Structure formats: structure tokens, C-alpha cells
Amino acid sequence: MIDYLSARTLFRSPLVAVYDIDCSAPRGDRSAEEFSSGHSVVFPRSGVFIKHASKQDQLVAECTRVLFFNRDESYRVSHPVADGDSCTSIHFSQSPLVDFVSSVDPSIEDSPDRPFRSLAGDCPASIALNLHRLRQLLLNQRQMDRLAIEEICASLLAESVENANQRDVVRQPIRAVTRQAHRELVDAARVVLARRFRDKLSLGELARAVFSSPFHLARIFHRETGLSLHRQLTRFRLRHALERLADGKPDLTMLALDLGFSSHAHFSHAFRREFGSAPSQLRSSQKNSPRRHNT
């Protein structure tokens, strides 16, 4: 897996380090064992991969999730679809990280080497947009404002941990084998949606792809994630829209159609509802930003 990885350092300070990581690994089996180099929060931006924390414990990573890694944690990675993945990883220094996480969960003080208890959390629009702004700040500015960058990273950490803790609330008792089956069903649906987010999918077609009945899939997905399947599909499309806008995609109508929206108006409405501004406004603000020239 390491041979397929390309990492770019966007920012580094005694408090945080920010990296863009691209993986070109092909679809296939699990990688060799890997180890996390630091306590990090990872934000998948495109593609999909599966993190195997153990033989029984795994999760699907895609652009609507946030992943947590403790330093020296071992794991393996596999890609259920082709084209690899792209992520942004923020590494946090241990002492300030433990101080923060313990304010949310005091029991962390008993295991400071493993400050993250959750494997993953949700990535709502507020986090996706904040991450987008961070990357634009790092990629486009000639001079970096360290305070601003570290403050955005702290904000991303706080909201990510909060969301993960909220998802870990106690639910109605359910048999372990049933719970595992439900998680596997949701993970399978995530993979299909991540791979086919541009397609006009029906509930029946999606259910057949994951070997489930339509209404059972819809009910379980909503119960496990708090989102409808359609909402999840739209979130995939909008996250990819952010990536394309960051690359300077000029024709918003073509972008909308390419991502699976029925029209420019449909795309703009969904984008504004998700991120609070029109895609044309976001694109214009990026055009006006001075680009940093690397030497």
C-alpha cells in the first residue's frame, strides 16, 4: 500500500500538521499491516476505502465520514472500487489533544495514548465546508496565518469529536449478530452510493445491489446513519462538487449534469441548502484568491 501513497505537507506547526494524501491502490484485497504515525483525524474527500481495524472491526471510509486514528494503531486497508482515494489528514500533538478530548470524556485520562475512542463519525456540511476553506487557505495563499489555520483545525477536531460522541448514544438493545448484519448492510450501501453517485439510482436497484429488500434497506440505513439514502447520495454529489470547484471547473451546468443533478438550478439549490452559498459565489471567491507559487 505504501507504494501507492502520495502525501503532500500543506502545513506544519508544533500543534498540528495538515497533509493531503492520495492513494492510487487498485481494487483488491487488504493491504499489508500499516501503523498510524500520529493521533489524526482523517477526512476522505473522494473515492472509497475500507479500514480494517481487526478481523471483526471494519468501516467504510468515504466523503461523508470522518475517521479517527490513534498513534501506532495498526490497521489494513482495502479498496472495494477502483480509482483509489484522496484524503486530508490533520495530526494533533498529544498533550493539547488529550486535554481537549478529556474535557468531553474524562475517562480518556486513564488512557492518554489512545485519546480517540470512536473509529469514525459523521461529516456534515459544516465540517465539509470548513475543511474546504482550510485547504483553499493553505493552497492559495502566499503567506499563511498560523493562528487562523490552527484555529480552523481545532474547530474541525471539536465538531468531529462531538458528532462521533453523539452517534455513540445508547440505543434500544439488539442482538450482536443483528447489529453486525445491519452495519454490514449500511457499509455495502455506502460503497454502492460512493461508486455510483452520478447514476440515477432507484431504491429497488440499490437494494438488489446489496442483496436486501428495498424497505428494509431504507429503514436500516436511516436508523444507523440518521440519513435517508437519497440524502446520502446528494451529499456524495455535493462533496465532489466542492472538489471540482477547488480545481477551477468553469462550466457549472456541465458540472451539475456530470454529478447527476437534473439541471444547474437543481444543483445550485442543493448546494446552497447544504453549504449556505451558491456554487458560483464559492467559485468566484477562489478565482480572486492569489495563488501560492511553490519553488
Distance from C-alpha of 286 to C-alpha of 203, rounded to nearest angstrom: 37
Low-confidence ranges of the chain (pLDDT < 50): 170, 291-295
**Please, are residues 67 and 42 in contact by the beta-carbon 8 Å criterion?**
yes
What would you report as the CA-atom Rg of the chain, rounded to the nearest whole angstrom? Answer: 19
Q: In the 8-state DSSP scheme, what is residue 28?
A: B
Residue 190, C-alpha cell as written in the block: 455506502
String of b and e for 175-200 (b: at least 16 CB within 10 Å)?
eeeeeeebeebbbbbbbbbbbbbeee
- pLDDT given at position 295: 32
- pLDDT given at position 293: 41
Whole-Å CA distances, 99 to 90, 95, 127, 144, 197: 17, 6, 22, 26, 39
Distance from C-alpha of 156 to C-alpha of 129, rounded to nearest angstrom: 10
**Please, are residues 205 and 63 in contact by the beta-carbon 8 Å criterion?**
no
- pLDDT given at position 168: 60
Neighbouring C-alpha atoms within 13 Å toward the C-beta of 226: 13
Q: Cell 462550466 appears where?
A: 251
H or E stretch including 76? strand 74-78
Smallest CA-to-CA distance from 102 within 92, 111, 91 is with 111
Continuous H helices in the chain? 94-104, 125-140, 146-167, 176-195, 203-209, 214-225, 229-246, 252-258, 264-275, 279-287
Distance from C-alpha of 79 to C-alpha of 62, rounded to nearest angstrom: 11
Residue 233, C-alpha cell as written in the block: 447520495
Smallest CA-to-CA distance from 120 within 31, 193, 42, 231 is with 42
- pLDDT given at position 39: 96
Burial class (CB in 10 A: 0-12, 13-18, 19+), 229: buried
**Sheet of 5-12, strand order:** 5-12, 16-23, 85-92, 40-47, 65-69, 120-122
- pLDDT given at position 2: 61
Distance from C-alpha of 46 to C-alpha of 86, rounded to nearest angstrom: 5
